[in-house]
Amino acid sequence: MSPLQKLVLHRQRHLKWRVLDPLEIILMIVCGLTLFGFSLSVSLDIITRTVGHPWLFLQEVTSTFFIYGIFAGAAAATRRNDHLYLTAFAEAMHGMPRRVAEIAIRLVVLAVAVCLVYFGYRNYLRGFGSFRLPSNTPIASLYAAIPLAGLLIALFTIEQIVNGWRNGFDHAEPAQEPTSAAPTTIGLDGDRS
């Protein structure tokens, strides 16, 4: 088999559902925006308190960015298979034992996602009885992130189970560039040798 055929076969085996790629991109943008918003609101909170004119609503803004950033990041990490990296144990295996371990790990993640959806939705509904101060918005506005993240984590986990079942879970490690161990010296005239 030629190197080109191997590359094409490798790409075909490890393709994700292309339909979910835009969703992953949106999640990564949301993660960046929430990180920026969190940092900015904390900085403004510190500055306004230092000058003696605190903006009290900034704590609400900060907590909103923090919570949505955490749950959007958890969903994005699930899609990228970067979550808690439970697969270190399974990566030492090959064949059917690896497939069983990988599916078992993803079923645990799926169970957690289902709990996030169920209990997060219950908290969301209860959140309409409590209010954030000073804006008096229902605390449900924060709790909405939990079931939403649970749905996304479940979707991405099902994607991984389906792709793994169809194509296997063995991933080829990316080839590393060979590095030269020879030291580089620069002479007095600026030439490298």
Return the ∠ at Cα 61 (arms to 56 and 62), rounded to 5°: 100
Q: What is the DSSP string of 64-118?
A: HHHHHHHHHHHHHHHHTT-STTTTHHHHT--SHHHHHHHHHHHHHHHHHHHHHHH
* Nearby residues of 19 by Cβ (< 8 Å), 6 or more positions away: none
Per DSSP, the three-state class of 144 is: coil
Side-chain-side CA neighbours of residue 108 (13 Å) = 10
Selection from 99, 123, 109, 119 nearest residue 152 by Cα? 109
Burial class (CB in 10 A: 0-12, 13-18, 19+), 25: exposed
Tell which phi-psi region holds residue 137, choosing left (phi > 0), alpha (psi between -120 and 50) or beta: beta
Q: Please report, to the nearest 10 degrees, the dihedral formed by the alpha carbons of residues 21, 22, 23, 27 taken in order.
A: 100
Gyration radius from the chain CA atoms: 23
33-69 pLDDT, tens per residue?
A: 999 999 999 999 999 999 999 999 999 999 999 999 9
Task: Give the three-class secondary structure for 35.
Answer: helix
User: Each residue of 121-167: pLDDT tens digit?
Assistant: 999 999 999 999 888 999 999 999 999 999 999 999 999 999 888 88
By CB atoms closer than 10 A (0-12, 13-18, 19+), residue 96 is: exposed
**Per-residue pLDDT tens digits for 172-188:** 555 555 555 555 555 55
Task: Give this prediction's pTM.
Answer: 0.76
- pLDDT, position 90: 73
